Amino acid sequence: MKRLYYLIFVYALVSATQGINMYAQEPVAPADNESVVQQPLAEELDNETKALLNQYYTQAFDALRHGEYSYAAMMFEKYLEISETKFKVFEYLTQIYMHTEDYIKAIGVLTRAIHKDPSYLKGYTMLGTAYRESGLYDEAIAAYQRALELKADSDTFLQLGLTYERKNQLDKAEEMYQETLQRNPFHAEAHFSIGLLRYREKDYEDAYKRINLATQLDPKNHLYPIYLEKLKFEAESAGVPILMNEPENN
């Protein structure tokens, strides 16, 4: 019975961490001594309108500092009704909707931003994540691929790999993780993700090596040591010895 409970726990843990959402973390407001207006407005606006925009911006961040996400989102929306030149507002609003798991609204915000600037790289990567968390994997893949056309970034390859993994296209997922490591051999999450693929295959030795390397590359990540212990336990239960040699960075 203990063995059954352990396997259920490991399965839940693996499922929960597939496709880590880098935008679902709590939105971060600027420090109290940081100016809430970080760039001048591009439009020719009268002073009254500028003051109103500053008011919305200030109120939005004040609400963020107090965890009042609905009110913060409303203030950012009001800001965008008047001006769409400040892309940070699109990003902050997206972060709120991602944090509250309102992915449809996040997609709407990012679609508006990309329509405003079709070369908006961060917009495509955030859009890919919003689509993926909505279960729209093909749309997510298209968004990430568009981002890669603009810039072949290692983190975008990683997110694309996580999306293929959600679709259970594991060969494509590993291909993207390897692309990540080609550009950054010390990318901890790419090694971790390959380790999880090896775990699925019951290749405990290579899974352990990969996740052990990820732990060394990113010692602050609290999940990696948990997986190491679980993998070691399951490998020992299966009678599989785990060697401590590190894998090559590819």
Same domain assignment for residues 145 and 188 = no
Contact 56, 78 (CB under 8 A): yes
Q: Are residues 147 and 54 in the same domain?
A: yes
Residue 72 resides in a domain: yes
pLDDT at 43: 57
Residue-level length of the chain: 250
Final residue belonging to a domain, choices 131, 151, 171 = 151
Residues 186 and 134 in one domain: no
Answer yes or no: do 139 and 66 share one domain: yes
CATH number at residue 127: 1.25.40.10
Domain that holds residue 217: 181-250
pLDDT in tens, 22-76: 444 556 555 544 444 444 444 578 899 999 999 999 999 999 999 999 999 999 9
Number of domains in the chain: 2
In angstroms, the CA 227 to CA 3 distance is 16
| Closest among 58, 66, 71, 57 to 26, alpha carbons compared | 66
Nearest to 247 by CA among 226, 238, 77, 203: 203
Phi, psi of 202 (to 5 degrees): 65, 25
Dump pLDDT digits (tens) for 185-241. 999 999 999 999 999 999 998 999 999 999 999 999 999 999 999 998 888 888 887
pLDDT at 26: 57
Read off the pLDDT band of 243 (50, 70, 90).
low
SS3 call for 104: helix
Domain CATH for 227: 1.25.40
54 backbone φψ class: left, alpha, beta (φ>0; ψ -120 to 50): alpha
Angle between helices 121-133 and 87-99 (to 10 degrees): 20
Residue 237 lies in a domain: yes
Mean pLDDT of 77-82: 96
Q: Which of 70, 74, 79 is nearest to 99 (CA)?
A: 70
Share of the chain above pLDDT 70, in %: 80
pTM of the entire structure?
0.79
